[in-house]
Amino acid sequence: MASFFQTHLQPHCEGAAWKDYQLTDPDRNIKEKLCAQHQKSLEIYCRTDDMCISAKCVATEHNGHKIVELETEREEKQISVKNEVQENEKNFTGLIWCIKETRRN
């Protein structure tokens, strides 16, 4: 059972923790942070470096990188977390069903 908990419940818990983090008003948290180099709000997401950057960074050190609006990146991440949680719940239901069936036999 130990490996079951690691494989199925641990990712589930991590996903839930991530969702909680999202609920703590991400807009305010991010907008309070400024780019250390340009003193501009971190409103762009660089997928190449996996980090939040300012509009000025795009034109300088992140020139040619894969850039998305922070809002777009957040929406996509939320969707993928939601899918992962649903996937876990499906696996969990399936496993409980298997245990019940095994016991019955």
By beta-carbon proximity to Zn ion, the closer residue of 46 and 70 is 46
Q: Interface with Zn ion includes 44 (CB under 5 A)? A: no
Q: Interface with Zn ion includes 49 (CB under 5 A)? A: yes
Q: Interface with Zn ion includes 85 (CB under 5 A)? A: no
Question: Which single residue is written with the structure tokens 């250390």?
Answer: 36
Judge whether 67 and 5 are in contact, CB under 8 Å. no
Which of 12, 62, 70, 88 forms a contact with Zn ion (CB under 5 A)? 62
Starting at the edge strand that comes first in sequence, how are the strands of the sheet with 51-53 ordered?
51-53, 44-46, 67-69
Find the helix packing angle between 70-104 and 10-23, rounded to 10°.
Answer: 150
Q: Interface with Zn ion includes 89 (CB under 5 A)? A: no
The residue ranges that bind Zn ion (CB under 5 A) are: 35, 37-38, 46, 48-49, 54, 56-57, 62, 65
